[in-house]
Amino acid sequence: MSCGIQKIKDQREHFLHTKTHIETELANLDELEEVAKKVMDNEFYVKKMALAKMLQVMEPEKKDSY
């Protein structure tokens, strides 16, 4: 019976550690999402993306140099 209690305690500790790790990762994702929204809301983002797409279309095709 004491082995079972120890296993329960170990499992509980494992779950608490996992919960803490998940909460930390969720907080990091929330911060990343906020930064991404700020970047996309910037008026220059749209202009830069349009310029990048235009340059990509205008770039000559690259041929394999093998």
What confidence tens digit (pLDDT) does each residue in 15-34 have?
999 999 999 999 999 999 99
Distance CA 16, CA 11 (A): 9
Instruction: Output the pLDDT for position 46.
Output: 80
Which residues does 19 contact at the CB level (< 8 Å), separation at least 6? none
Q: Per the confidence metrics, is the pTM higher than 0.75?
A: no
CB of 29 within 8 A of CB of 22?
no
Measured between alpha carbons, how far is 39 from 25 in angstroms, rounded to an integer?
Answer: 21
The runs of H, that is alpha helices, within 1-66 are: 2-41, 43-58
Provide the pLDDT for residue 27: 97
Question: Which sequence spans correspond to the domains of the chain?
Answer: 2-58
